[in-house]
Amino acid sequence: MPKLYLVGAGPGDPGLLTCKAFQLLQRADVVVYDRLVSAEVLAVANPAATFIFAGKLQGEQERIQSEIHAHLLENAADGKVVVRLKGGDPMVFGRGAEEWAFLNSHGIDVELVPGISSALAVPALAGIPVTLRGVATSFAVIAGHRQNLEPQEWDRYRMVDTLVLLMAVENRAAIAANLLRAGRLPEEPVAFIERGATERERVVVATLGIVARGQVEVSAPAVFVVGQVVRMRRHLQRVVREAGVDALEAVYAGR
């Protein structure tokens, strides 16, 4: 039976790939990769492989997904070593289960190779634990690109200690406003970690109220964290600190 490998690329640093993911990339004939897979991770793959970009465009997700299915099916059916490479973990907002089911329905065996999820690793690497004894005993990972969410649907997140939002940069002000309506406090600390786990990482710390007012400038991709655990960053940062980060934190936190 033809086989395909559904592989998590982790948060961006190739050193955070699993051993199995690294080995598969080294012998891959075809690598079908998403927009969030870093150039550094792609660089460890077999240079003789065929690389197929499978990033989505706003409004064309379903058409592009059909094309991705076709690429996967065609190459796997030819007996090639096909790696379907997704940022973070394939089963966390990555349509991994959908692609797996599609391939199974067409007689293609799928082997999952989990990856380190950006939802947990990116905040942690920036000095923000999603749980902390005495501060946060619960967390939720939320897709922030769902523009059809009604304000009242955010009520379920009012009592969750830490919120981690992926794909939320574009809708950050609306999300923050909905969380305030749900009962979270405007002074609650938040952080945006841009391009986490790479040399281009940038961290912006603010408050939920400031984000709701549209006063925080952030570029995608970024992980959006809400909760008191953000305050731990000042204690858990690495000794060598990025130029400019502290100034940004002081400006936003002091408003």
Catalytic residues: 34, 56, 167
For residue 55, what is the DSSP state? -
Going across the sheet that includes 162-166, the strands are: 139-143, 162-166, 222-226, 189-194, 202-207
Residue 211: which of 233, 232, 187 has the closest Cα? 187
Strand partners for 52:
32
Helix or strand run (H / E) with residue 79 = none
Rounded distance between C-alpha atoms, residue 122 and residue 129, angstroms: 10
CB contact at 8 A, 205 and 191: yes
Rounded distance between C-alpha atoms, residue 146 and residue 123, angstroms: 22
Q: Which two tokens stand for residue 212?
A: 């709701």
Rounded distance between C-alpha atoms, residue 179 and residue 154, angstroms: 6
Q: What letters, b where the CB count within 10 A reaches 16 and e where it falls short, cover 122-139?
A: bbbbbbbbbebeeebeeb
Q: What letters, b where the CB count within 10 A reaches 16 and e where it falls short, cover 182-220?
A: bebeeebbbbbbbbbbbeebbbbbbbbbbbbeeebebee
